[in-house]
Amino acid sequence: MEFCESTFLYTLSLPDSIMPKPGDTVKITTAKETFEGILMPRPDLLTPGITVIKLNSGYNLGIESKKITSVDVIEPYAAKTPVKTASAQDPRLPTVAVISTGGTIVSKIDYYSGAVSADYTAEDFIEMCPELKGIANIRAKKIMGIMSEDMDFSVYEQLAAAIADELKTADGIVVTQGTDTMHFTTAAMSFALQHLNKPVIFTAAQRSIDRGSSDAFMNLICAVHAAAKFKVGMVATCMHGDSEDDACILIRGTKVRKMHTSRRDAFRPMNENPLAKIWPDGKIEHLNTQYAKSHEKPLELKNQFEPKVALVLVYPGMDPGSIEYFVKKGFKGIVLAATALGHVPTFNPQSSLMQVLDKAAKKKIPVVIASQTLYGAVHPFVYTNLRKLSVERKCIFVHDMLPEVAYIKLAWVLARAQEYAVIKHMMQTSIAGEISERHQPGEFLI
């Protein structure tokens, strides 16, 4: 959150040198009373005209700025410089690199000044979770500080390069980021980091770390355990398995989705079982062995993406013009999150997508069909209308691939293939476990 200096600036005309600053201990006088406390910053978005001070009792109090006749600084704010002691390395332990990109899990606020600390070191993580010291030698690297909703393909390129770089010397990687689009990032990394032979574990927090109940602690501990000793060459998420602080689950980076706005266990495995359950004491229970243990070929960084790709939700009564926009704008590929088995409107002239899909085919823009039901697979042939898409308009049906994964993958494929047949082949071939051809009854709603 951005903070402005303080709102009473608008109502007081004091010289800068004596203008009180957030964090200063002040005496505020109004016509009727006086208040003593620490001047607090006020978020820009809130109604102006209120000055906030923290009283001795700890309570904040809002005073209408226009009532204030004077503000005297009793004691100016003195920022404390945190003392950071480098922690000793244990040669017997594996090395885990923790790469942070921003988000709730690494936000640290100075509640007196409102400033957000931007300097995360390994010691900060260890201070947060002293247990980490016994699991691995931690090496921390902050490569950016952005919210997950602001991530894009250039961020994915940068992140993949940073991971590849750290992998040269680390035994495993933990990446922390904001939760909202974490499943897009894990998909991007699953494709960008080819032939992984070490674990790349993503973790995050649904509750901020200022509260004792934050899920960040257990998530981070389990993620470091996984990075240190889960012997796989793949990208996976490590988050709460249920609402309890008992264990985390590891989910394949291409089969994971955030399925709840706020719960700790929002990240769920889609169309397959979680890979493993992992406890904060380091115990691992394998639940799904369908993954690459490690690759023989050396790691290959393929971190280019074609950003001109669209992901469009299909819905009743939609205007075909919304797809036409992308066709006209020169987009290189479109993913349709179609209904269930892969349907789109075909009959009503106002909403039928047939004409616009013809135009896309003519312009050789690949159109990929994934399902908005998220669970289950699309099918190119079971109904006539599906054949109109698959056979007549050459739409690419991608089985049980999640729409978000299909979007990331198409961007990745288009950065390395132009020919329709190659694109189709790559899209329909599982590269990082994004397509599973065998589904068990127990893989639904877990």
Partner 1 sequence: MNYKKLGFRCGLEIHQQLDGKKLFCRCPALNSANDPDISVRRRLRAVVGETGEIDKAAAYETARAREFLYVSHSEDTCLVEYDEQPPFPINEELLDVALQVALLMHCKIVDEVQVMRKTVVDGSNVSGFQRTALIAYDGWIETSKGKVGIQSICLEEEAAQKLEETKTTVSYKLDRLGIGLLEIATHTDIVDPEHAKEAAGVIGMILRSTEKVKRGLGTIRQDVNISIEGGNRTEVKGFQDLRAMPKVIDYEIQRQQKLVGEKKKIEKEVRKAEPDFTTSFLRPLPGAARMYPETDVLPVRITKERIAKIKVPELISEKTMKLGEEFGIQEALAQEIVKQKIDLKQWTQKYPKLEPAQIASVLIEIPKEMKSRLKIDPEPLKEKDFHEVLGALNEGKITKEAIIDILSARAQNKAVNLDQYKPVDASDIEAEIEKIIKEKPGLTIGAYMGMLMAKYRGKIDGQKLMELLKKRVK
Contact 32, 48 (CB under 8 A): no
Considering the complex, state which of residue 124 and residue 306 has its C-beta at the smaller distance from partner 1: 124
Active site residue 297: no
**How far is residue 210's CA from residue 293's CA, in Å, rounded to a whole number?**
37
The one catalytic residue among 198, 255, 258, 424: 258
Closest CA to 179 of 232, 238, 120: 238
Tokens of 24: 């200063």
Considering the complex, state which of residue 33 and residue 419 has its C-beta at the smaller distance from partner 1: 33
Tokens of 127: 């201070």
Considering the complex, state which of residue 109 and residue 287 has its C-beta at the smaller distance from partner 1: 109
Tokens of 304: 């280019």
Give residue for tokens 């921003």. 102
β-strand pairing of 193-194 with 25-30: unpaired
Considering the complex, state which of residue 5 and residue 157 has its C-beta at the smaller distance from partner 1: 5
Q: To the nearest whole angstrom, how small is the minimum distance from the Cβ of residue 75 to partner 1?
A: 16
The one catalytic residue among 104, 181, 186, 203: 104
Length in residues, the chain: 446
Contacts 24+ apart (CB under 8 A), 152-155: 152/307, 153/188, 153/305, 153/307, 153/411, 154/307, 155/101
What angle in degrees, to the nearest 10, is found between the helix axes of 354-362 and 321-328?
10
By CB under 8 A, name the binding residues for partner 1: 1, 33, 40, 46-47, 50, 52, 54-64, 67, 82, 108, 111, 127-128, 130, 207, 209-214, 217-218, 243-246, 261-264
Give residue for tokens 């266990």. 265
Q: To the nearest whole angstrom, how small is the minimum distance from the Cβ of residue 261 to partner 1?
A: 8
Q: To the nearest whole angstrom, how small is the minimum distance from the Cβ of residue 60 to partner 1?
A: 4
Active site residue 261: no
Contact 63, 33 (CB under 8 A): no
Tokens of 90: 């244990």
Q: To the nearest whole angstrom, how small is the minimum distance from the Cβ of residue 47 to partner 1?
A: 7
Q: Which backbone phi and psi does 270 adopt, to 5 degrees?
A: -110, 120
Q: To the nearest whole angstrom, how small is the minimum distance from the Cβ of residue 161 to partner 1?
A: 30
Q: To the nearest whole angstrom, how small is the minimum distance from the Cβ of residue 64 to partner 1?
A: 4
Tokens of 342: 């892969």
Considering the complex, state which of residue 214 and residue 271 has its C-beta at the smaller distance from partner 1: 214
Considering the complex, state which of residue 266 and residue 284 has its C-beta at the smaller distance from partner 1: 266
The one catalytic residue among 180, 185, 198, 215: 180
Closest CA to 26 of 57, 50, 56: 56
The one catalytic residue among 121, 179, 237, 254: 179
**How far is residue 136's CA from residue 105's CA, in Å, rounded to a whole number?**
19
What angle in degrees, to the nearest 10, is found between the helix axes of 403-414 and 182-192?
40
Three-state DSSP class for 49? Answer: coil
Active site residue 152: no
Q: To the nearest whole angstrom, how small is the minimum distance from the Cβ of residue 244 to partner 1?
A: 5
Considering the complex, state which of residue 129 and residue 160 has its C-beta at the smaller distance from partner 1: 129
Active site residue 104: yes
* Residues 6 or more apart in contact with residue 120 via CB below 8 angstroms: 100, 106, 108, 140, 142
Residues recognised as catalytic: 104, 179-180, 258
